[in-house]
Amino acid sequence: MADAHAKHHDYHLVDPSAWPIVGATGAFILAIGAVMWMHEYMSSWLMLVGFAIVAYTMFGWWRDVVREAHKGDHTPVVQLHLRYGMILFIASEVMFFVAWFWAFFDASLFAGEEIQAARVEFTGGHWPPQGVEVFDPWHLPLINTLILLTSGTTVTWAHHALLHDDRKGLVQGLALTVVLGLLFTAVQAYEYQHAAFSFAGSIYGSTFFMATGFHGFHVIVGTIFLIVCLVRAMKGHFTSKQHFGFEAAAWYWHFVDVVWLFLFFAIYVWASVGAVYH
């Protein structure tokens, strides 16, 4: 009888879970609360409740996924499909940033039309708009670029250490990557505080802050992802044969690196040619 119920395949059907409906409810409350708060119909408490539910769902759902891995449910076939899912997720993130690059290049290459349509106080036909003092790309932006590129090498070091069962190197590489991610965020925040233009001042400011701001948000998410991996690595969760959680975090971090390179050369370097530096 036991053999009749034994699993003779590499696939895994997840156990029944309430997390999808809980997460969907939290996302709905978050969206409604954000809309109500932005239109000043109520305070932000409903939005915060929705955010708390979403955060709790993320913690609980991923905790269950980790438990599945420890139970042996993540067979090589399941791990392969998890990798496909992560690749598709990163592809969707690429298209998300394509939208912001599209907006930036559309506004910059057709500056006269866009700026006049926006009815701002700057003179049309110039990019950046006349009167806007941009960041010197060879100062803080270059420093941040070096920080992020260095973090890409440390997370790769951690990956290679894991493949060679070097637990100490894995922890050290992850810890350095987390520190560099936090440093990048701190430098970005300092840069924003000293910007000579605002989000609402011109379409240059709008496209600049939307593109770099969403990238900064992704850096924060990636840093949290790596912190979780660091804690798990210190607990001995990953092995050289089974470490999809770390691999997904490393892929995500490299994606953040590549996007920043495009942002740096397009928005900071190319768009600042002939402009007045702040």
Mark whether 154 and 51 lie in a shared domain: no
Which residues make Cβ contacts (< 8 Å) with residue 140, sequence separation at least 6? 187, 190, 191
Mark whether 21 and 112 lie in a shared domain: no
How many DSSP H helices and E strands does the chain contain?
9, 2
Instruction: Tell whether the model's pLDDT for residue 276 goes beyond 70.
Output: no
Sign, Cα dihedral of 214, 220, 223, 228: negative
Residues 181, 149: contact at Cβ < 8 Å? Answer: no
Mark whether 136 and 246 lie in a shared domain: yes
Residue where the block lists tokens 């409903």: 46
Tell which of 73, 108, 132 closes a domain.
73
Which residues make Cβ contacts (< 8 Å) with residue 181, sequence separation at least 6? 151, 219, 222, 223, 226, 253
Tell which of 46, 73, 100 closes a domain.
73
- How many CB atoms are closer than 10 A to CB 216? 20
Mark whether 172 and 214 lie in a shared domain: yes
Mark whether 101 and 212 lie in a shared domain: yes
Mark whether 61 and 105 lie in a shared domain: no
Mark whether 57 and 118 lie in a shared domain: no
CATH number of the CATH domain containing 19: 1.10.287.70
Cis upstream peptide for 128 (omega within 30°): yes
Question: Quick one: three-class SS letters along 140-197?
Answer: HHHHHHHHHHHHHHHHHHHHHHHHCCCHHHHHHHHHHHHHHHHHHHHHHHHHHHCCCC
pLDDT of residue 275: 66
Sign, Cα dihedral of 212, 214, 215, 216: positive
Give tens-digit pLDDT for 193-234.
Answer: 998 888 887 788 899 999 999 999 999 999 999 999 999 999
CA distance 37 to 33: 6
CATH number of the CATH domain containing 254: 1.20.120.80
- Domain hosting 247: range is 75-277
CA distance 199 to 5: 61
Tell which of 50, 73, 96 closes a domain.
73
pLDDT band at 111 (very low <50, low <70, confident <90, very high): low
Give the mean pLDDT of 249-267. Answer: 96
pLDDT of residue 198: 87
pLDDT band at 72 (very low <50, low <70, confident <90, very high): confident
- Average per-residue pLDDT in the chain? 88
Residues 32, 46: contact at Cβ < 8 Å? Answer: yes
Give tens-digit pLDDT for 20-55.
Answer: 999 999 999 999 999 999 998 888 899 999 999 999
CA distance 197 to 194: 9
Give tens-digit pLDDT for 229-252.
Answer: 999 999 988 988 888 999 999 999
pLDDT of residue 114: 46
